[in-house]
Chain A
Amino acid sequence: MTPRSPDARDGALRRLRGLTAGVAATAVGAVAVFAAVAAATIPGQPGTAARATTSTSSSSTVTSSSTDTSGGLQITSTPQTSSSSTQAHATTGGS
């Protein structure tokens, strides 16, 4: 062990107190920063797949409603029109 003067010991103690206070203050700020980063990356709003239970139920709701909507929209969409025209053509050919 290296012998140290009282002044060096006092200096080391001051450094220790400063470091402890600095780390504690930084940690408080870091919680806020990480919480903000977490909120920005996965905000967990309704409809997103972030929170465990909601993600499952909401995504299934979205899926089912989007299926219904797209099903409804497909009646007036182009593929449906071409399909019906094909069907009409086939009917004409049959007769």
Chain B
Amino acid sequence: MNDTLLWYTTRGAGAVSLLLLSAVVTLGVLTAARFEAPGWPRFVTAALHRNLSLTALVFLALHVLTAVTDPFAHLGLTVAIVPFTSWYRPLWVGLGTIAVELVVAVAVTSLLRRRLGHAAWRAVHWLAYAAWPVALVHGVGAGTDGTSDWMVAIDVFSAGAVLTAVAGRLFAPRPDPLADARDRFRTRVQREISR
């Protein structure tokens, strides 16, 4: 395959991976916030979050594969596994490696959720909040198009979607009318246990 075509595909797949990852994080936040609307039950948000996660993994794999097999870039497979070993912009490419590993960890633990238990799965799942900004910074620093207008627009759009969802989760009133009562009850039980 033409190495220039591989290079273009790396850049295209990278942009799409970032968009999908942002959509996955946004849907994850909405799932945790128990979002639902008329014609949009809660299970649709959760299921779409799961389906898009797997789709994002496919495009992430395409991004990594085309990058490491590009004979011109000659990054090598090690770069995809061991962070900060790239000859080219080691810090920025290394952040991409870390982001991929975090995403893979989140995906694998989600597939093994029943075996791991909810607490362990939830602890690892929080890594998704770390993977997304690391991936965003990787795109800005390592990407050839990091400062191109179209890529900056994708970055701004992605950041806007995720930050809006996170802000909504943090500041919007909780949709579950019993959530506060449950929290109070849980706190009281924990206080009684700790006595």
Which residues of chain A have a CB within 8 Å of any CB of chain B? Answer: 1-2, 4, 8-9, 11-13, 15-16, 19-20, 23-24, 27, 30-39, 41-42, 44, 50-52, 54
| B59 contacts A15, C-beta separation under 8 Å | no
Closest Cβ of chain A: how far from B79's Cβ, in Å? 14
| A16 contacts B48, C-beta separation under 8 Å | yes
A42 to B143, CA, bound (A): 11
B134 within 8 A of A: no
Taking CB atoms, residues of chain B closer than 8 Å to A51 are 7, 72-73, 144
B166 within 8 A of A: no
0/1 string, B1-40, CB within 8 A of A gives 1: 0001001110111011001100100000000000010011
Question: Count of B residues near A, CB < 8 Å?
Answer: 34
Q: B19: which of A9, A30, A39 is its contact (CB, 8 Å)?
A: A30
| B150 contacts A37, C-beta separation under 8 Å | yes
Q: Is the interface of B mostly helix, strand, loop or mixed?
A: helix
Q: Is the interface of A mostly helix, strand, loop or mixed?
A: helix
Taking CB atoms, residues of chain B closer than 8 Å to A39 are 4, 8
Q: B48: which of A20, A36, A38 is its contact (CB, 8 Å)?
A: A20
| B11 contacts A35, C-beta separation under 8 Å | yes
Q: A2-B36, A27-B20, A37-B150 are in contact. Are A16 and B62 (CB under 8 A)?
A: no
| B51 contacts A31, C-beta separation under 8 Å | no
Closest Cβ of chain B: how far from A34's Cβ, in Å? 4
A44 to B41, CA, bound (A): 47
Q: A31: which of B4, B9, B43, B52 is its contact (CB, 8 Å)?
A: B9
Taking CB atoms, residues of chain A closer than 8 Å to B48 are 16, 19-20
